[in-house]
């Protein structure tokens, strides 16, 4: 076996299981090693039933006074027990429930101390724990000394199955070393390759984890920047052959600007002027627009596209989701009608019928003066463009360089613009996008009210529900965001569905509650978002899929569960889904943790609405242990590296890559590097 061997080489993985692995992007033995944990279980110190507070993953040390009881439910046997303090205090007790585990009746003895580890919930005034793991104090003590990996899953694939598969690969496959220059490996004191993967998946302690992560972060940044710089070397300046009228003359853009019911912010004005200069410059341009959430990037994109379209050419904008693409198309159509513009809009997304696709492609191949909107469907081979002069990709970190190139190749060297709501400091952006000019839009439009944000503990959840109910009664709508449940084998789809069922009992029957998650089909997601936009849905329980540009002005509340597991940049992105109308909006951050440092970090969101400031403060407050949990910065889809967290590493890698290419531009002395760079490009289309 080698890293290119099929995942079915692992004993016990047949066709059915291989299909499950394929759903998470794992096809080979090498793929499974790159399927890194999304977090690690760090077993907390046990508490007594008398010390219980809050909710979340908890370890409780207690004993039973009577044996467990087993009763038959409709479809399963249910085992129940009550754990009391070892001191004999009866003031507080923990209710324990297990499903389909009747054997515990004979295994658990009265009067013997056990550690019950699971998700603690508060029902009325009593604490309850379902499906807890049970350990002796000695067993649990050994677990506390290690870090247990928790992986991204899909329905039918368990955490244990992935752990077992990775262990099999590490035992039976030789992992080759990278061709990163040995002097760099020596300087950085990198672990050997095989030990690196052993320690990232199964670290014995924090030190091992940090050593393994250090090498993997460096590797990822190294090959990303090497590929990027090599591409730049082979991309010389291209003459701009698109002829646009001089801006001093009367034009469609100035006409629309004079009719807007609002004034552009300074950042919007400067960015639009820069784009228009690019379009009239001597060479084809590439520009990155960094705009904070809600800063109004879409109107700038529309005006830049209008500048090209009014000159008789085509302009395209590619969005990462069908929901956002359709939203752009609808918004553009409304503005064309409002301003009396003689241009058309065509939308092309994967879920359209064959007839709809044929009609859209026919218009794209034949019409001038056309706003083209779509998803990755725009870069399919059978989509041909008539006169594509400008390409804009929205939410840049959702696309890769190669995807943008494919779209650019559809035209005759069109200008390229990429837009991102991720607040990357300018110095880092210049490293990542060294071939692009950079514009920043920091200000929010004048009519936007600041979003009022509060951080609350789980014991105040009912109060938060009451507040949401009042907003709903006032005619507004709400989001509730549910990340994956820590230390659970449940998929995100099951999580949001269960949560929606849980809150159903709190809100009146006339309140419509629906769910949205990444596992749904595009047509299902579109239908849910359309219903939410039409106000047919009052509460949308969703995963972070709503982060990407969805615009529902009537939604005034966002409640984020497990907010302590997110980086501040990600929370700021999510918060930006509300506050898009004229009414006051609110963001409720549910803090499930007990770490005062994390709670302090969440309070930063109360202090500022500036994403760049928030990212800077987030970085100052983070430590090595904060690397666990939901991905932090949201920029570029790196597997393990984080641009904000690993800013110093990124800078150092950039210097190393520049030095290597300065000494050896064609990598003649480093043939292995060139080969690995090409393989990295193939394997990591998620960023390239």
Secondary structure of 196-210 in the HEC alphabet? HHHHHHCCCCHHHHH
DSSP string over 30-72 = HHHHT---SEEE-PPPPB-GGG--S-EEEEEEEEESS--EEEE
Report the alpha-carbon angle 544-545-548, nearest 5.
Answer: 105
Which pair of structure tokens corresponds to residue 126?
């009593």
CA 92 to chain centre: 40
Classify 266 as helix, strand or coil: helix
Q: What is the DSSP letter of 44?
A: P
Q: What is the DSSP letter of 571?
A: H
CA distances from 376 to 99, 317, 322, 389 (A): 44, 10, 9, 18
Cα angle vertex 87, ends 82, 93, to 5°? Answer: 25
Residues 430 and 228 sit within 8 Å (Cβ to Cβ) = no
Q: Does the 43-145 domain belong in CATH 2.60.40.10?
A: no
Give me the pLDDT at residue 521, please: 80
* Mean pLDDT over each residue of the chain, to the nearest integer: 86
Mean pLDDT is lowest, of 97-111, 159-173, 245-259, 586-600, for 586-600
Question: Distance (Å, rounded) from C-alpha 447 to C-alpha 676?
Answer: 51
Average pLDDT over residues 303-320: 94
pLDDT at 630: 39
Q: 452-608 adopts what CATH topology? A: Rossmann fold (3.40.50)
- Please report which confidence band the pLDDT of residue 399 belongs to, taking 50, 70 and 90 as the band edges: low
Q: Which CATH number fits domain 252-441: 3.90.1150.10, 3.40.50.300, 3.40.50.970, 2.80.10.50?
A: 3.40.50.300
Contact between 117 and 83 (Cβ < 8 Å)? no
All residues at 6 or more sequence positions from 172 whose CB lies less than 8 Å from its CB, including other chains: 1
The mean per-residue pLDDT over the stretch 628-645 comes to 63
CA 682 to chain CA mean position, Å = 22
Summarize the confidence of residues 560-578 as an average pLDDT: 85
Report whether pLDDT(410) > 80: no
Orientation angle between helical segments 322-338 and 522-533, nearest 10 degrees: 40
Q: 556 and 577 in contact (C-beta within 8 Å)?
A: no
Position 38 pLDDT exceeds 90: no
362/385 Cα distance (integer angstroms): 9
The alpha carbon of 493 is separated from its chain's Cα centroid by a whole number of angstroms, namely 15
Same fold, 43-145 and 452-608: no
CB 336 within 8 A of CB 315: no
Give the dihedral sign, CA 438/442/445/450.
positive
% of the chain surpassing 90 pLDDT: 52
pLDDT at 250 over 70: no
State the CB neighbour count (10 A cutoff) for residue 7: 20
> What value does the mean pLDDT take over residues 299-311?
96
Copy the structure tokens of residue 334.
């409304």
Helix (H, G, I), strand (E, B) or coil at 132: strand
DSSP structure string for 520-560: S-HHHHHHHHHHHHTTS-SEEEE-GGGGTT---TTEEEEEE
Low-confidence winner among 164-178, 211-225, 423-437, 450-464 (lowest mean pLDDT): 423-437
- Of 134 and 491, the structure prediction assigns the larger pLDDT to 134
Nearest alpha-carbon partner for 314 in 377, 268, 378: 378
> Rounded CA gap, 373 and 393, in Å?
10
Taking the C-alpha atoms of residue 418 and residue 600, their distance in angstroms, rounded to an integer, is: 34
Can you tell me the distance from the alpha carbon of 529 to that of 321, in angstroms, rounded to the nearest whole number?
Answer: 12
pLDDT at position 316 is 95
Task: For residue 112, give the 3-state DSSP assignment.
Answer: coil
> Around Cβ 654, how many Cβ atoms within 10 Å?
20
Longest dimension (CA), the chain: 89
Contacts of 581 (CB under 8 A, 6+ apart): 553, 554, 556
Residue 676 CB contacts under 8 Å (≥ 6 apart), including other chains: 178, 179, 223
Residue 48 tokens read as: 């007594």
| Domain chopping of the chain, boundaries | 43-145, 252-441, 452-608
Q: What is the pLDDT of residues 577-595, one digit of tens each?
A: 898 888 999 999 998 766 6
Please report where in the chains the tokens 């379902």 appear, as a residue. Answer: 130
Q: Are 90 and 84 in contact (CB under 8 A)?
A: yes
**Choice between 363 and 401, residue whose per-residue pLDDT is larger:** 363
Average pLDDT over residues 160-186: 93
pLDDT digits (tens, 9 = 90+) for 49-70: 989 887 778 999 999 999 999 9
pLDDT digits (tens, 9 = 90+) for 429-451: 888 888 789 999 988 887 778 89
Residue 528 has pLDDT above 70, yes or no: yes
Lowest pLDDT segment from 260-269, 506-515, 640-649: 640-649
Residue 583: other Cβ atoms inside 10 A: 16
Length of the chain: 688
**Is 626 a residue whose pLDDT tops 70?**
no
What's the CA gap between 587 and 447, in Å, rounded?
A: 18
Query: Nearest Cα to 213, choosing from 645, 679, 676, 655?
Result: 645
Q: Which two structure tokens, joined as six digits, stand for 422?
A: 């991720």
Overall average pLDDT of the 322-331 stretch = 88
Between residues 624 and 525, which one has the greater pLDDT? 525
Which of 626, 591, 623, 624 is CA-nearest to residue 605? Answer: 591
Residue 549 has pLDDT above 70, yes or no: no
Measured between its terminal Cα atoms, the distance across the chain in Å is 28
pLDDT of residue 190: 96
- Contact status, residue 284 vs residue 415, Cβ threshold 8 Å: yes
* CB-side neighbour CA atoms (13 Å) of 103: 2
- 649 and 627 Cβ atoms separated by less than 8 Å: no
Distance CA 402, CA 326 (A): 24
Enter the DSSP assignment of 640. Answer: S
Helix residue ranges per DSSP H, 45-98: none
Identify the DSSP state of 485. P
In this predicted structure, what is the pLDDT of residue 496?
85
448 to 268, 389, 578, 579: CA distances (angstroms): 15, 33, 10, 7
**DSSP per position, 581-638:** SSS--EEEEEE----HHHHHHHTHHHH---HHHHHHHHHHH--GGGGSSS-SS--TT-
Rounded CA-CA distance 382/376 in Å is 13
Give the residue-averaged pLDDT of 100-109: 94
Look at residue 22 in the predicted model and tell me its pLDDT: 94
pTM assigned to the model? 0.75
Report the relative pairing of strands 477-481 and 56-64 from DSSP bridges.
unpaired
Residue 640 pLDDT greater than 80, yes or no:
yes
């Amino acid at each position: 076996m080698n890293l290119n061997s099929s995942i079915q080489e692992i004993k016990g993985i047949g066709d059915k299981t291989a299909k499950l692995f394929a759903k998470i992007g794992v096809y080979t033995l090498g793929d499974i090693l790159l399927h890194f944990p999304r977090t690690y279980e760090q077993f907390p110190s046990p508490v007594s039933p008398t010390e219980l507070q809050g909710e979340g993953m908890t370890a409780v040390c207690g004993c039973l006074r009577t044996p467990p009881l087993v009763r038959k439910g409709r479809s399963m046997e249910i085992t129940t027990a009550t754990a009391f303090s070892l001191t004999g205090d009866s003031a507080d007790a923990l209710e324990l429930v297990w499903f389909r585990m009747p054997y515990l009746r004979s295994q658990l003895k009265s009067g013997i101390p056990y550690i019950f580890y699971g998700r603690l919930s508060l029902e009325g005034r009593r604490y309850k724990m379902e499906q807890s793991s049970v350990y002796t104090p000695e067993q649990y003590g050994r677990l506390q000394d290690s870090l247990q990996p928790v992986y991204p899953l899909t329905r039918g694939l368990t955490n244990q199955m992935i752990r077992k598969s990775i262990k099999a690969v590490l035992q039976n496959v030789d992992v080759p070393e990278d061709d990163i220059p040995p002097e760099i490996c020596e300087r950085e004191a990198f672990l050997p390759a095989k030990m690196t993967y052993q320690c990232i998946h199964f670290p014995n302690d924090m030190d091992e984890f940090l050593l393994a992560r250090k090498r993997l972060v460096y590797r990822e940044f190294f090959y990303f920047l090497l590929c990027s710089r090599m591409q730049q070397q082979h991309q010389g300046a291209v003459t701009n052959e698109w002829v646009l009228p001089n801006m001093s003359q009367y034009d469609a853009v100035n006409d629309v600007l004079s009719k807007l019911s609002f004034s552009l912010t300074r950042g919007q004005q400067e960015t639009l002027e820069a784009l228009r200069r690019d379009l009239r410059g001597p060479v084809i341009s590439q520009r990155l627009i960094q705009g904070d959430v809600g800063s109004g990037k879409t109107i700038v994109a529309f005006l830049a596209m209008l500048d090209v379209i009014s000159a008789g050419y085509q302009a395209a904008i590619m969005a990462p989701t069908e929901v956002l693409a359709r939203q752009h198309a609808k918004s553009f159509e409304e503005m064309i009608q409002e301003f009396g513009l003689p241009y058309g809009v065509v939308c092309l997304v994967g879920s359209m019928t064959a007839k709809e696709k044929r009609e859209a492609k026919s218009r794209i191949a034949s019409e001038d003066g056309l706003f083209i909107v779509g998803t990755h469907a725009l870069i399919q081979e059978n989509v041909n463009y008539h006169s594509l002069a400008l390409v804009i990709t929205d939410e840049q970190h959702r696309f890769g360089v190669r995807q943008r190139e494919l779209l650019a190749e559809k035209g005759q060297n069109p200008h390229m613009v990429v837009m991102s709501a991720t607040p990357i400091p300018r110095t880092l952006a210049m490293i990542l996008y060294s071939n692009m000019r950079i514009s920043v839009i920091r200000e929010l439009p004048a009519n936007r009210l600041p979003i009022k944000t509060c951080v609350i503990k789980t014991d105040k959840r009912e109060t938060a529900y009451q507040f949401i109910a009042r907003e709903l009664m006032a005619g507004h709508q709400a989001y509730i965001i549910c990340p994956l449940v820590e230390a659970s084998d449940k998929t995100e789809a099951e999580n949001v569905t269960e949560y929606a069922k849980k809150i159903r009992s709190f809100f009146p029957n006339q309140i419509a509650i629906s769910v949205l998650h990444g596992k749904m089909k595009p047509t299902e997601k579109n239908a849910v978002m359309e219903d939410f936009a039409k106000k047919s849905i009052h509460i949308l329980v969703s995963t972070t899929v709503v982060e990407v540009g969805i615009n529902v002005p009537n939604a005034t509340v966002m409640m984020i569960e497990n907010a302590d597991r997110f980086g501040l940049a990600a929370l700021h992105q999510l918060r930006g889904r509300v506050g898009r109308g004229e009414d006051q909006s609110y963001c409720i951050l549910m803090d499930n943790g007990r770490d005062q440092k994390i709670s302090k970090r969440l309070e930063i969101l109360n202090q500022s609405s500036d994403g760049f400031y928030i990212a800077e403060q987030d970085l100052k407050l983070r430590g090595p242990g904060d690397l666990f949990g939901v991905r932090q910065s949201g920029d570029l889809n790196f597997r393990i590296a984080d641009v904000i967290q690993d800013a110093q590493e990124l800078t150092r890698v950039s210097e190393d890559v520049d030095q290597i290419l300065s000494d050896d531009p064609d990598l003649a002395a480093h043939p292995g590097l060139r080969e690995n760079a090409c393989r990295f490009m193939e394997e990591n289309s998620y960023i390239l």
